[in-house]
Amino acid sequence: MHSDTPLLIMADIPETYCLHDLILTGQASKIIKLIQPVHQDHDRLHAVIGGMEFILTQHSAEVMHRDFLTEDMQSIFYDRSETALSSIGISLSDHIKPAQQNATINRAMLQLAKYVGQSVEAASVIWRPAALQIGFNYFVGATDHYVVGGPFPVLAQIAISETSEGNFQTSGLSYFADQEIKIGAPSGYAPNEVVKRLVRVAHEIATNGKINEIMVIEGFVEGEKLSIMPDTNCKIVDVAIIPYEPRQLQ
């Protein structure tokens, strides 16, 4: 089912190609086991990495255009090509799907996507929960860093957009924590400085789970605070940047 396919590897795949032609070499062949389904389905393949099973599916350029690509999709480190690209989708198997927010499962899926993408000379990766299309080279770098214990790859899995009021908000964080972020800033803060603070809170939520209570944490500079306030249903947290204001001497 398309709705169960969070990740798509975009590549210029020949029409004659089928998933059973997929060959993994080097390190990939040592850590990933490919299993053909009992029924000979040439558009479907099972992959096991770290004891976790994922499902690979093949989608033509026509299906991609009809069912997956949307006008509101953001691109990061990727210029959309006029060439119609096919894709290989990655889905979680039924026994790990309930734990989709788990960091170990997420790392395994991204690592699998990296190796499969390299085998088909991928151009980009689409992360559907955030409607985000990421250049493949950036995706590989972020994945490699994450897999060895680096930070959660916020920019590769969470979309950030600016509202009409000049604030910023996330999309796709709910895949991991059932929660999104909105952040505003006082005048004098450049947009990139506001986004840095949003990324920090997004990393915290994606790594440690949703925030259920009001809290105030240290900001990026001395004296600065970040006020974090979840709404009634804890579906959205509003973050306010509180700049340092030295006391005036009387």
Q: What is the pLDDT of residues 54-73, one digit of tens each?
A: 999 999 989 888 888 777 88
pLDDT more than 90, % of the chain: 78
Phi, then psi, of 130 in degrees rounded to 5: -110, 5
Residues 150 and 142: their CA atoms lie apart, in Å, by 9
The beta-strand segments (E) located in 15-114 are 32-35, 44-49, 52-59, 74-76, 86-92
pLDDT at 127: 97
**Residue 172, burial from CB neighbour count under 10 angstroms (0-12, 13-18, 19+):** buried
Q: Over 80: is that where the pLDDT of 249 sits?
A: no
pLDDT band at 43 (very low <50, low <70, confident <90, very high): confident
- Please state the rounded mean pLDDT for residues 207-234: 95
Contact 218, 233 (CB under 8 A): no
Q: Is the dihedral of CA 47, 48, 52, 53 positive or negative?
A: positive
Lowest mean pLDDT among 74-83, 96-105, 199-208: 74-83
pLDDT at 41: 66
- Lookup: tokens for 247: 């006391």
Residues 169 and 180: their CA atoms lie apart, in Å, by 7
The beta-strand segments (E) located in 52-156 are 52-59, 74-76, 86-92, 124-127, 132-135
Q: 152-183 pLDDT, tens per residue? A: 999 999 999 999 888 999 999 999 999 999 99
pLDDT band at 1 (very low <50, low <70, confident <90, very high): very low
pLDDT at 2: 45
pLDDT at 248: 57
Cα dihedral 146/151/153/155 (nearest 10): -150
- Lookup: tokens for 140: 């590989």
Q: Over 70: is that where the pLDDT of 109 sits?
A: yes
How many C-beta neighbours within 10 Å does residue 191 have? 11
pLDDT band at 247 (very low <50, low <70, confident <90, very high): low
Q: Over 80: is that where the pLDDT of 39 sits?
A: no
pLDDT more than 70, % of the chain: 95
Tokens 């069912």, residue located: 67
Q: Helix, strand, or coil here: 244?
A: coil
